[in-house]
């Protein structure tokens, strides 16, 4: 139930990667046969990723994942004196990079979401200035799953003559991609969120986008990302993307949405619970199929995470990417939840391979854990500090 943190490799992905660890171990830049085999594999992967993004193969840049993509977009395009518009619910890979640029003379505007978790495009429009060079808004939020109106934001960027970066790490493989329709110049994805390997990802970089590379070194990836290519990782990413494209057509996504809806409806039957990522009437706003985020009154979120862990159910309170942090989720706080409710919110995010039996089990253990914790909770008793 924590797929938005990471996912296991699918067997087909392991099989695709296997020859590139030992047999075809060449450096893709070498002229000899070993190098050419590796080079050909990277070329094939690039073709697949171009199909995945809906772009040209030359617009695909392989890298180490979402953090690098987000950083590259921000450090690679912004210069002192520029203005940068982003949202306050971005991943820390965007927010921390923005803070660093602010220290280097870039003005940054953080647009807050509506209580539903949606960024209103008119708020982005209002944030723009003549010096706005870059807009960065995520496709799907990692905590709520809420899908942002990126097409409208892309259109706003186009009209304003600004570049648009989209962190699509949590949207990849969950909704169909088309970079031209989204209107973005840059897009970051990560393999390990879509049943591929960790430490590898890709960026779409629209032709002609003047992005400075983050790393200095060799001329790999058309001089946009130096460093010997992670050939097994790249092959694994492409296989995961190929399987993700199949999943978008074969009924997997509606199946996942139905499982998520059943899980969500079951948990929301408990008194003192509610959905994060819904409009005023409680109707969910557009979300990716695998995610739900629910608040529980009268208990400590962390205690519920631990109680469920003891029952073999892995969930996340706030974002696992900030492991060790006890701060309430910046996303939920930005949506207007109070600290107590933000702390007592849990994210359930289903793997593509989740089953009815998985959901049945979670629906069995969550009510028991909630009831038990409420019975002993200082929050429930009103004695919490």
Ligand X SMILES: Cc1ncc(COP(=O)(O)O)c(C=O)c1O
Residues engaged in binding ligand X (CB under 6 A): 65-67, 70, 91, 93, 138, 142, 167, 169-170, 190, 201, 321
Q: How far is the CB of 171 from ligand X (least distance, A)?
A: 9
- Name the active-site residue from 55, 184, 187, 321: 321
Cβ of 385: how many Cβ atoms within 10 Å? 4
Residue nearest to ligand X (CB): 66
CB within 8 A of 175, min separation 6: which ones?
Answer: 139, 140, 147, 248, 253, 288
CB of 348 to ligand X, least distance (A): 15
Rounded distance between C-alpha atoms, residue 181 and residue 236, angstroms: 27
| Least Å from the CB of residue 321 to ligand X | 4
Beta carbon nearer to ligand X, 199 or 254 = 199
Give min distance, CB of 169 to ligand X, in A.
Answer: 4
Active site residue 321: yes
Q: Which residues of 292-304 are buried (b: 16+ CB within 10 A; e: fewer)?
A: bbbbbbbbbbebb
8-state DSSP, 5 = T
Kindly state the smallest distance separating residue 74's Cβ from ligand X, in Å: 12
Nearer to ligand X, 16 or 93 (CB): 93
273 versus 348: smaller Cβ distance to ligand X: 348
Q: Which is nearer to ligand X, 137 or 299 (CB)?
A: 137
DSSP conformation letters of 156-217: HHHHHT-EEEEE-TTTBTTB---HHHHT-SEEEEEGGGTTS-TT-EEEEE-TT--PPPSS-S
Q: Provide DSSP, 89-152.
A: TS-HHHHHHHHHHHHTT-EEEEEPPPTTSPPPHHHHHHH--TTEEEEE--SB-TTT-BBP-HHH
Q: Which residue, 5 or 48, is less far from ligand X as judged by CB? A: 5
Closest C-alpha to 165, from 69, 63, 48: 69
Contacts with 167 (C-beta within 8 Å, 6 or more apart), sequence order: 66, 69, 70, 90, 91, 93, 94, 136, 137, 138, 139, 187, 188
Angle formed at CA 330 by CA 327 and CA 332, multiple of 5 degrees: 110
Distance, CA of 203 to CA of 185 (rounded, Å): 10
Of 7 and 116, CB closest to ligand X: 7
Degrees, nearest 5: CA angle 285-294-258: 60
Q: Tell me which residue of 97, 11, 88, 133 sits closest to 330, measured CA to CA.
A: 88
Answer whether 114's CB lies under 8 Å from 146's CB.
Answer: no
Distance in Å, CB of 229 to ligand X, minimum: 17
Rounded to a whole number of angstroms, the minimum distance from the CB of residue 201 to ligand X is 5
> Closer CB to ligand X, residue 27 or residue 92?
92
Q: Which is nearer to ligand X, 201 or 328 (CB)?
A: 201
CB of 334 to ligand X, least distance (A): 14
- The tokens for 306 are 């631990």
Q: With H, G, I as helix, E, B as strand and everything else as coil, classify residue 371.
A: helix
Name the residues annotated as catalytic: 321
């Amino acid at each position: 139930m924590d797929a938005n943190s990471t996912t296991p490799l699918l067997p087909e992905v392991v099989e695709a990667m296997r020859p590139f660890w030992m047999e075809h171990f060449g450096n893709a830049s070498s002229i000899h046969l070993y190098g050419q085999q590796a080079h050909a594999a990277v070329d094939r992967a690039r073709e697949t990723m171009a199909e995945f993004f809906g772009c040209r193969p030359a617009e695909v840049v392989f890298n180490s994942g979402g953090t690098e993509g987000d950083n590259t977009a921000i450090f690679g395009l912004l210069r002192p004196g520029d203005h940068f518009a982003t949202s306050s619910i971005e991943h820390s890979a965007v927010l921390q990079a923005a803070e660093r640029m602010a220290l280097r003379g870039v003005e940054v505007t953080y647009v807050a979401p509506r209580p539903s978790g949606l960024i209103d495009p008119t708020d982005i429009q209002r944030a723009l200035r003549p010096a706005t060079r870059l807009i960065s808004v995520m496709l799907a939020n990692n905590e709520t799953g809420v899908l942002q109106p990126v097409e409208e934001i892309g259109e706003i960027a186009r009209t304003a003559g600004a570049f648009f970066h989209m962190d699509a790490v949590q949207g990849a493989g969950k909704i169909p991609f088309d970079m031209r329709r989204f209107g973005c110049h840059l897009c970051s994805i990560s393999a390990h969120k879509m049943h591929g390997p960790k430490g590898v990802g890709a960026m779409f970089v629209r032709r002609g986008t003047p992005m400075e590379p983050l790393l200095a070194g060799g001329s790999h990836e058309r001089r946009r990302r130096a460093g010997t290519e992670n050939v097994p990782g790249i092959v694994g990413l492409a296989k995961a993307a190929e399987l993700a494209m199949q999943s978008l057509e074969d009924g997997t996504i509606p199946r996942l949405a139905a499982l998520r809806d059943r899980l969500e409806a079951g948990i929301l039957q408990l008194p003192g619970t509610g959905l994060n990522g819904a409009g005023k009437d409680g109707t969910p706003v557009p979300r990716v199929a695998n995610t739900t985020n629910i608040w529980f009154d009268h208990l400590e979120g962390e205690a519920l995470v631990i109680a469920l862990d003891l029952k073999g159910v892995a969930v996340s309170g706030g974002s696992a990417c900030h492991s060790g942090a006890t701060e309430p989720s910046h996303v939920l706080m930005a949506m207007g939840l109070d600290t107590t409710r933000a702390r007592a919110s849990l994210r359930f995010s289903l793997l593509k391979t989740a089953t009815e039996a998985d959901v049945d089990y979670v629906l069995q253990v969550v009510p028991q854990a909630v009831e038990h914790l409420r019975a002993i909770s200082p929050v429930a008793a009103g004695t919490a500090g």
